[in-house]
């Protein structure tokens, strides 16, 4: 039976795991005993290790035919040393993985001023966290070229699900931008992203990048209004950008400084996947009904 290694057992990977466990013998890198029990209950064999401690990754060499890499970069630094530690560990044996599916971020495009964005658009990361993602993508592509491994990169936008909604923010009454200053934002339901990441291991050609976004065409304020309506909460107040700089955190402001509309035709055509939640409205309805 083919073997799969999961790196980064967060929400998306856990959603993918039951489906993957029916098709692979699955190993999952975990850092603590709690995660060990969880991934075992989902059908995976846990392996203790830490991407920040290269010496703990020796067992990963030659263990799997495929890798689902869903671990975020570190919080600081110019590059993604975690991904580079992983690739170094995988490279210590002659038996290298044949396929890697990596969940990146659409933040690598930077601010596109509301334009429609395909995968051929050059990356222009504007934040340190996006630059670390670009570094991870580059390292994975280099590994793919050098080893012959088919690397697929999924650039995901805002991920949402029933337990990933901005409820606390709405209850606090945090503001969003006025219509005149608002930005276009993109979304994907966590379940659909998990399906995309899994199917890329089977159907993606090597070196391909996919905008892993749904079909929604929303401004950020409209997204918050939709969630508020579904939860029976007031719409967040709208303020101009200058006022937002005085009331919101730098991290929140960074998300409000980038506007783009992702084109998602490529994954539909090449991975042959139909989204379960093509619009944010669909995902919110399912979340609230659940």
Check: CB of residue 54 under 8 Å from CB of residue 85.
Answer: yes
Tell me the CATH number of domain 3-162+187-217+261-281, given options 3.40.50.720, 3.30.1540.20, 1.25.40.20, 3.30.300.130: 3.40.50.720
CB 52 within 8 A of CB 80: no
- Nearest CA among 92, 6, 74, 80 for reference residue 42: 6
> Whole-angstrom Cα distance, residue 201 to residue 101?
6
| Span 60-92, pLDDT tens digits | 999 999 999 999 999 999 899 999 999 999 998
**Per-residue confidence (pLDDT) for residue 288, from 0 to 100:** 82
Note the pLDDT of residue 289.
Answer: 83
Interacting residues of 131 by C-beta distance below 8 A, sequence separation 6+: 78, 79, 125
Two structure tokens written together for 86: 């992983």
Calculate the dihedral angle through the C-alpha atoms of 105, 273, 268, 274, rounding to the nearest 10 degrees.
Answer: -100
Average pLDDT over residues 20-28: 97
Q: What is the mean pLDDT of residues 153-162?
A: 97
CA 152 to chain centroid, in Å, comes to 13
Partners of 102 in the beta sheet?
Answer: 69, 153
pLDDT of residue 274: 95
């Amino acid at each position: 039976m083919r073997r799969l290694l999961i790196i980064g057992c967060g929400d998306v990977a856990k959603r993918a795991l039951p489906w993957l466990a029916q098709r692979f013998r699955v190993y999952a890198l975990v850092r603590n005993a709690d995660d060990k029990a969880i991934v075992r209950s989902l059908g995976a064999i846990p392996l203790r290790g830490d991407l920040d401690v290269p010496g703990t990754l020796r067992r990963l060499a030659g263990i799997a035919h495929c890798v689902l890499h869903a671990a975020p970069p570190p919080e600081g630094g110019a590059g993604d040393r975690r991904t580079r530690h992983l690739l170094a560990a995988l490279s210590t044996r002659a038996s290298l993985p044949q396929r890697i599916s990596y969940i990146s971020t659409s933040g690598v495009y930077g601010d596109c001023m509301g334009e429609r964005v395909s995968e051929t658009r050059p990356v222009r990361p504007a934040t340190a966290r996006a630059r670390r993602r670009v570094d991870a993508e580059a390292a994975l592509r280099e590994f793919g070229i050098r080893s012959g491994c088919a690397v697929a990169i999924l650039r995901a936008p805002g991920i949402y699900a029933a337990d990933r909604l901005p409820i606390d923010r709405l209850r606090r009454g945090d503001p969003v931008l006025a219509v005149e200053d608002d930005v276009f934002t993109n979304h994907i339901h966590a379940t659909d992203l998990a399906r995309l990441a899994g199917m890329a291991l089977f159907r993606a050609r090597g070196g391909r990048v996919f905008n892993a976004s749904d079909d929604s065409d929303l401004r950020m304020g409209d997204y918050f209004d939709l969630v508020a309506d579904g939860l029976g909460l007031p719409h967040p107040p709208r303020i101009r950008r200058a006022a937002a700089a005085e009331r919101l955190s730098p991290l929140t402001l960074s998300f409000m400084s980038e506007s783009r509309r992702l084109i998602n035709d490529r994954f539909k055509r090449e991975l042959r996947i139909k989204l379960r939640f093509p619009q944010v409205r669909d995902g919110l309805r399912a979340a609230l009904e659940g």
